[in-house]
Structure 1
Amino acid sequence: MTNTESQPATAPAHFSGRILVVDDNPFNSDILSRLLEHKGYRVSIVSNGHHAVDMVEQGGVDLVLLDVMMPGMNGMEVLQQIRHRPPSIDLPIIMLTAMADTERILAAFAAGADDYITRPIDLSLAMARIEAQLRLREQARSQIGELHKIGGAERVKPRTSPFYCPICISCHATYVAQCATCNATAPQGGWPRIHESAFTHLGQTVGGRYFLEQFIGRGSVGQVYRARDIDLGREFAVKIVAASDKEGLRHQTLLEVSAQVRLENPYVVKIYQVLMLEDDVCALVMDFVRGFSLEQVLDAHGSLPPWLALDVARQVALALHSAHAMGILHRDVKPGNIMLEPMPTRDYFARLLDFGIVQIMGRPVDEQSSICGTPAYISPEQILGEQPLDVRADIYSLGAVLYHTLVGHAPFEDLMQARNEPSSAVMVQLQHQLFSRLPPLRAKLGDQDGEQIAALDALLQRMMAKERDERHQDISEVLQEIMELLDRF
């Protein structure tokens, strides 16, 4: 099959676009094209890399499904040629590859692939991945414009919504009997007033266009709000960052922005704009992810089944792989910094956020003896202040998150309960991170799937080894083990 295109009778309501399938196997490409046409997409099929590059250059392609193994110009070479053409830099490319072909998958991500689908193809999962990439591209193309450099102050409009709901922390312009966000009924004494609360910017409009409608959490260095763009009607997340040290704020904010803008990874929350509100306050305008943090999911459900916990860890590891490849350490991987968007396939699309305390690898930092990170997930070397840190600090924290996701509580929490130690005592948590051996999984999960649990326990024991040299030396090693384990569950 060389170069064919089919047209559906009616374009889908959610998206009207063209998908290019690049595969030298006519049976595989026929199945994919039929599935996509059934969903209402326009499909073009080419059987070799040269035709694929030519078709992308002609324009009009919205997503590419690219087979890794092809005669002549293989999938990796096609990927590299497409990515070196400026008009195609943001074109979503999903690689089609053999099951557990970890080495090629990691190489593809390094070369600019956005995602991958393994053979034999799970059609429902394939559609979920395709639609997720198309949705991400649509969001990126509707972004506000070029990133603003931190500079002159932006206007902050006076608060027009004086009341707020204490249940969901959303604001109200007028006194209403019921909250429009969570349907809570007004308290007997009336809705509280924002100016008497700790939610400093709730109800304000920053940058002349972002109305801060709801407080949704605290990041490592600021408050985060759900905001509505009053010009476009689109929702964003806005993080308000304040510091007494103006230069310190400027430096760390630029690091965070630089990290997230450079990554351009589907598993990392994207920053669109930076606004300087006052000398010591700035706002970061980011993607608003509809879903829940992993922390919220674990609070509600206790734990996740092993296959789902591993899949979330896989996606976070892919985000870290891109960050580490650019010399960026996250330093605060924890459930609260992982957003999960529910997918139709009963799994989650995970995204890593809050690069507020990132560190550039090889550069020591002066933090005046303060410990940067979260005690329940922090690596021993961060506690001890060893410099410079490297990727193994993030590997340790990801291991702690995976452990929590599997057993329903943070590492060492059961030891603290057994010894009647207060779980909120930071020094106790740090001592366990430094000296206590991670309790084995079998004691928590029982004898179900004995061999698989033993392999999973071995992965965690290595990720969370006290000595850095005993851990995985690169996140790609972790990814390979995770993907091999996913095949077994």
Structure 2
Amino acid sequence: MLQNEIHRQVRQKTELDTYIGKFLNNRYLIRDLIGKGGMGRVYLAEDVAKGGMAVAVKILSMNLANQQLSQRFAREIFIGAQLGRKSTHIVRVLSYGVTEDKIPYYVMEYLQGKNLKQILKNETLKIPNFLEICHQICLGLQCAHQGVSIKGEIFPVIHRDIKPENIFIIEDDSKDRIVKILDFGIAKFLTERTGITLAESFIGSLPYCSPEHMEGRKLLDVRSDIYSLGVLMFEMLIGKHPFQIKSNSFADWYQAHRFQMPPMFEDIAPQISIPKELKKLVMSCLAKEVSDRPQDISQILVVLEQLQRKYNNLISDNQKNIQNQELLQLVPVTSLSEKICLQKSWPKNQPIAPICFSHLLPTPQGSVPTFWAMLAKKEIAKFIDNNNYTEFIFQKNLY
């Protein structure tokens, strides 16, 4: 029964999508639809020339008869190919071509994991995880902003659509998170010297657009991406968008981005502890005027890396404290004298002289030589007052 249901679903998908089950360029076998958007659809495929290696294939929604879309798609291929080779944090473009119907496609590395939107639906990120993800996003954006080479010249590239859906998070074999930025297909060159121009229509996601982007300014720069990153960081920290609107219209979003001030973190999420440096960074990224924001990604990276070092030190200190607590609990009882010392009250047949003995204390780092003694209260007090160079583990309520 289960096998019949699987076959039924496959047939249904095939009927709805003519690409599933077919080859592209006699090389890429389309297996399943895994995503779709305004510019095209993304499929899971097998590269038969690479032994069936899984790849992702993006196919444009329209054929090459639409010159503007085909130019934009060609630019997406070109930018993705260059940036993917330069940065681990930008999805790699492997190949490209056209279908039998003259519809262009390109092949990307296949990523397994979740996008940030899916993750934020189920959890609020802890500060160390937030810093790790943001750091990698910034490294990818920094690579793009540094530019691609065209005819020997370097032209910076901005993404123009930074949002949770375009941030993909995978885990490698070592369980470390690797962050990839997707979809540079609507990126814009910061100069028109390339001879490549965008259509006049608005391109972007309204909840994450900078005010100047929504105003249609032709000379957008990297600070537009920084604003979008600020919206994204706010949402990652709080789980809510910084701006509340009545409708999803262009006019309402423009009013919010241009005139509405973002709320203070403590006003909407007082239960979440956020470092003041991080609050200041996010608010500066959300500044309405471009001159009030960080001027490039490197300024953001400085703050993130300082906070990462701070949290790494805190984690290291906490681990040391845990180890010290474990040492106190690992004291073995192996002789009569030690048993007497670990009692909480002075034994009835108390000795007329102090009890002293040595012991090798086992720890995860190896055996540590220790010296044990049962002393009178006033003697213990002397050790406490004058403990300048020796570490003592003791019980004050022995008697």
Compute the TM-score of the two structures, normalised by the length of structure 1. 0.56
8 Å contact kept, 2:14–2:21: no
Q: What is the SS of the residue equivalent to 1:429?
A: helix
8 Å contact kept, 2:158–2:188: yes
Query: What is the distance in 2 between the residues matched to 1:430 and 1:177?
Result: 51
Query: What is the distance in 1 between the residues matched to 2:264 and 2:281?
Result: 11
Q: 1:331 aligns with which of 128, 140, 160?
A: 160
Q: 2:236 aligns with which of 405, 412, 418?
A: 405
Task: Give the C-alpha shift of residue 223 in structure 1.
Answer: 0.7
8 Å contact kept, 2:213–2:224: yes
Task: Give the C-alpha shift of residue 445 in structure 1.
Answer: 3.5
**1:249 counterpart letter in structure 2:** L
Query: What is the distance in 1 between the residues matched to 2:238 and 2:144?
Result: 28
**1:241 counterpart letter in structure 2:** L
Matched, 1:318 2:149: no
Partner of 2:212: 381
Partner of 1:466: 288
Q: Deviations over 1:383-439 (max 9, x none)?
A: 000111110111111111111111113331xx33xxxx24x4444233212221111
Query: What is the distance in 1 between the residues matched to 2:161 and 2:188?
Result: 10
**1:294 counterpart letter in structure 2:** L
Query: What is the distance in 2 between the residues matched to 1:278 and 1:383?
Result: 38
**1:242 counterpart letter in structure 2:** S
Q: What is the SS of the residue equivalent to 1:284?
A: strand
Matched, 1:234 2:53: yes
Partner of 2:300: 478
Matched, 1:431 2:252: no
Cα 1:216/1:266, change in 2 over 3 Å: same
Query: What is the distance in 2 between the residues matched to 1:293 and 1:439?
Result: 26
8 Å contact kept, 1:219–1:356: no
Output aligned runs, 1:288-307, within 5 Å.
Answer: 288-301=110-123, 303-307=124-128
Cα 1:476/1:205, change in 2 over 3 Å: same
Cα 1:409/1:203, change in 2 over 3 Å: farther
Partner of 2:76: 256
Q: 1:442 aligns with which of 243, 258, 266?
A: 266
Query: What is the distance in 2 between the residues matched to 1:177 and 1:403?
Result: 47
**1:445 counterpart letter in structure 2:** A
Query: What is the distance in 2 between the residues matched to 1:406 and 1:465?
Result: 18
Query: What is the distance in 2 between the residues matched to 1:211 and 1:430?
Result: 43
Task: Give the C-alpha shift of residue 464 in structure 1.
Answer: 1.3
8 Å contact kept, 1:340–1:349: yes
Q: Which moved more, 1:401-410 or 1:281-290?
A: 401-410
Partner of 2:347: none
**1:329 counterpart letter in structure 2:** I
Matched, 1:212 2:39: no
Query: What is the distance in 2 between the residues matched to 1:376 and 1:200?
Result: 34
Partner of 1:23: none
Q: What is the SS of the residue equivalent to 2:291?
A: helix
Q: Cα RMSD (Å) of the superposition?
A: 2.4
Query: What is the distance in 1 between the residues matched to 2:205 and 2:61?
Result: 20
Greater helix content: 2
User: Any gaps of 5 or more consecutive residues in structure 1?
Assistant: 1-174, 181-185
Query: What is the distance in 2 between the residues matched to 1:266 and 1:203?
Result: 31
Q: 1:356 aligns with which of 170, 185, 193?
A: 185
Q: 2:103 aligns with which of 277, 281, 291?
A: 281
Query: What is the distance in 2 between the residues matched to 1:367 and 1:242?
Result: 16
Q: 2:223 aligns with which of 392, 395, 399?
A: 392
Query: What is the distance in 1 between the residues matched to 2:119 and 2:53?
Result: 26
Q: Deviations over 1:82-101 (max 9, x none)?
A: xxxxxxxxxxxxxxxxxxxx
User: Any gaps of 5 or more consecutive residues in structure 2?
Assistant: 148-155, 312-399
Partner of 1:201: 19
Q: What is the SS of the residue equivalent to 2:310?
A: coil
Partner of 1:176: 3
Task: Give the C-alpha shift of residue 382 in structure 1.
Answer: 1.0
Larger Rg: 2
Query: What is the distance in 2 between the residues matched to 1:428 and 1:441?
Result: 22
**2:184 counterpart letter in structure 1:** F
**2:199 counterpart letter in structure 1:** E
Q: Deviations over 1:219-272 (max 9, x none)?
A: 452111111123411100110113365322332122112212212111111101
Cα 1:367/1:434, change in 2 over 3 Å: farther
Task: Give the C-alpha shift of residue 202 in structure 1.
Answer: 2.7
Partner of 1:225: 43
Output aligned runs, 1:340-351, within 5 Å.
Answer: 340-343=169-172, 348-351=177-180
Q: Percent identity?
A: 29
Task: Give the C-alpha shift of residue 312 in structure 1.
Answer: 0.8
Cα 1:433/1:236, change in 2 over 3 Å: same
**2:20 counterpart letter in structure 1:** L
Compute the TM-score of the two structures, normalised by the length of structure 2. 0.68
**2:93 counterpart letter in structure 1:** I
Query: What is the distance in 1 between the residues matched to 2:164 and 2:250?
Result: 18
Q: What is the SS of the residue equivalent to 2:233?
A: helix
Query: What is the distance in 2 between the residues matched to 1:398 and 1:259?
Result: 20
**1:478 counterpart letter in structure 2:** I
Query: What is the distance in 1 between the residues matched to 2:38 and 2:168?
Result: 15
Q: Deviations over 1:12-52 (max 9, x none)?
A: xxxxxxxxxxxxxxxxxxxxxxxxxxxxxxxxxxxxxxxxx
Task: Give the C-alpha shift of residue 276 in structure 1.
Answer: 1.2
